[in-house]
Amino acid sequence: MKKLLLMSAVLLGTVLTGCAGGYYAGARYYGPPPPPRYGYVGVAPGPGYVWADGFWDLRGGRWAWSQGRWMRPPHRGARWEPNEWREEHGRYRFHRGGWR
């Protein structure tokens, strides 16, 4: 039960944090982000979990690394599309990922 409550709190915090930084999502252009960070992913916390890679995010005009995390699909057949920076017309644009 404690594990379920902790996992729920972490997931809620992650969702709310993602909502707070979305003022530029898909709308503004920036220079290239720093190179991605790589690390140990580990074992999924349970069956059905999907790993979402970390990504560089702009917070207050500065680059900040958002850690990767394990997530559960919201429904059967859902697939995760990662956050990504794409070069468009010589500038970089952020495309927010999500469940599709």
Domain range for 68 is 29-99
Mean pLDDT by 10 residues, the chain (100 residues): 52 48 50 87 93 90 92 94 90 90
Alpha carbons 19 and 15: distance in angstroms, whole number: 6
Torsion of Cα atoms, 75 then 78 then 82 then 86, to 10°: -130
Q: What is the pLDDT of residue 47?
A: 93
- Total residue length of the chain: 100
Measure the CA angle with vertex 89, ends 83 and 94; round to 5°: 15
How many folded domains does the chain comprise?
1
19: in domain: no
DSSP helix/strand/coil, 91: strand
43: in domain: yes
Q: What is the pLDDT of residue 11?
A: 55
